[in-house]
Structure 1
Amino acid sequence: MTGAVRIADLGGARAIILHRPHAAVTALTRQLQAVGLRVTTSWPDLQADALGADFVFFDADMGFDDQFPWSRGAAPMPLIALIGSEAPGRIEWALATGAQAQILKPVGDSGVYSALLIARHGFEARRSLSAEAADLRRRLGERQTVVQAVILLTRSGGSESAAYATLRQMAMTARITLEEAAARVVAGPDRRGHATGGGT
């Protein structure tokens, strides 16, 4: 990913700290409020309204999958791990949750602002890549459907180029895309009739 990283004011954003009562929560809350964030705490589970949060900080030492109201790695906002133990299993779990940044415990008087920006940037980059991958999968599926339709049309005789021309004519007549016409051909004779009949 290239280009300048957008750094915007974080004032007014909402952060949830998913951590048992601890000095780290107090220190983290103080820093977040100084940056301008609204802060709430929760333990042991996130409430349903957590889906509207802008950031979630979570305890990587005592956290577990069922605390989150979403599937592992599918958080709808940036996650920041609060790490005290560097046990490999705990680090692996924090990464599997989808954490984009971390803060080491004990939490000091700095580091939160950079963690927020890094987490948000990583979250947006991952979301962008996921959208691109989904689009590529969709386009690949459409191309495969076109190939299947051409193969089906050649079964009634004629070359692949003639079948492709027939498919294009179906699309033009019905005023739909080539991929939509192909999907109708693949779906069967009834749908193919719609593709050639001039309507959708």
Structure 2
Amino acid sequence: MRRRLSIPELGGARAVILHRPHATVAALTRQLHAVGLQVDCCWPDLPASVHGADFLFLDVDTAYDDQFPWTAGEAPLPTIALIGSEAPGRIEWLMNFGADAQILKPVGDNGVYSALLIARATFDARIGQAGEIDSLRRRLGQRQTVVQAVTLLAARGKTEDEAYEQLRAMAMAWRISFEEAAARIVAKPDASATKERDNG
């Protein structure tokens, strides 16, 4: 079942605007202050304090890869793209950067609040999916390790079922998880066999 999203409280959050001095920055700052955010403006370098910020606004028309201390698509905070140019090269750069929301320039008197909410929700979903993928990869790796361990044990003259039960018994005897026992056997099959005989 899909989790229902709720509107987060934004008051007291901090936004960084990476944009050369411009009327766009003044318009953004007014809207962000109205919502209750603190604002830091910078150009062309991002301060180290960006890692403690809650949102990053960036000017797609002039931004470039070396400004960001992270790999494209892996920003550690919600990012909002400010788009003025629809030049193919700039749009391609934006697609590779992977912003969580966007605002078209020129920036007027509205649009920032919804962009903040969309960016937050998109960022949270991206981080959640990345965690789920990592978890699935770990589980898949553990299953492959169990299969390898059972294969090693079966090579000692046991059936697959007997090898599986032996692995379970070894995990209980060593007081570790099934997967940890499998990893130990795969890492040092001979040592595991000796330990099993010693415990038996």
Q: Could you state the TM-score of these two structures normalised by the residue count of structure 2?
A: 0.94
Give the equivalent residue in structure 1 for 2:126.
Answer: 126
Where structure 1 has 5 or more consecutive residues not aligned to the other structure, the ranges are: none
1:68-88 Cα deviation digits (max 9, x unpaired): 121211111100000000112
Aligned residue for 2:17, secondary structure, equals strand
TM-aligned CA distance change 1:197 to 1:60, over 3 Å: farther
1:92-150 Cα deviation digits (max 9, x unpaired): 21122220110111100000000000000000011111100000000000000000001
Aligned residue for 1:11, secondary structure, equals coil
Structure 1 counterpart of 2:144, which letter? Q
CA distance in 2, matches of 1:37, 1:80: 15
1:168-196 Cα deviation digits (max 9, x unpaired): 01001011111000000000123555677
Does 2:37 align with 1:62? Answer: no
Give the equivalent residue in structure 1 for 2:90.
Answer: 90
Give the equivalent residue in structure 2 for 1:145.
Answer: 145
Give the equivalent residue in structure 1 for 2:176.
Answer: 176
Q: Which runs of 4+ in 1 moved over 4 A?
A: 191-198
Q: Over the residues paired in the alignment, what is the CA RMSD in angstroms?
A: 1.6
Aligned residue for 1:77, secondary structure, equals coil
Q: Could you state the TM-score of these two structures normalised by the residue count of structure 1?
A: 0.94
CA distance in 1, matches of 2:196, 2:14: 50
CA distance in 2, matches of 1:149, 1:171: 12
1:32-85 Cα deviation digits (max 9, x unpaired): 011000000111111111100000000101101110121211111100000000
Give the equivalent residue in structure 2 for 1:14.
Answer: 14
Percent identity reads 62
Aligned residue for 1:114, secondary structure, equals helix
Aligned length: 198
**Conserved? CA contact 1:171–1:195, under 8 Å:** no
Where structure 2 has 5 or more consecutive residues not aligned to the other structure, the ranges are: none
Give the equivalent residue in structure 2 for 1:154.
Answer: 154
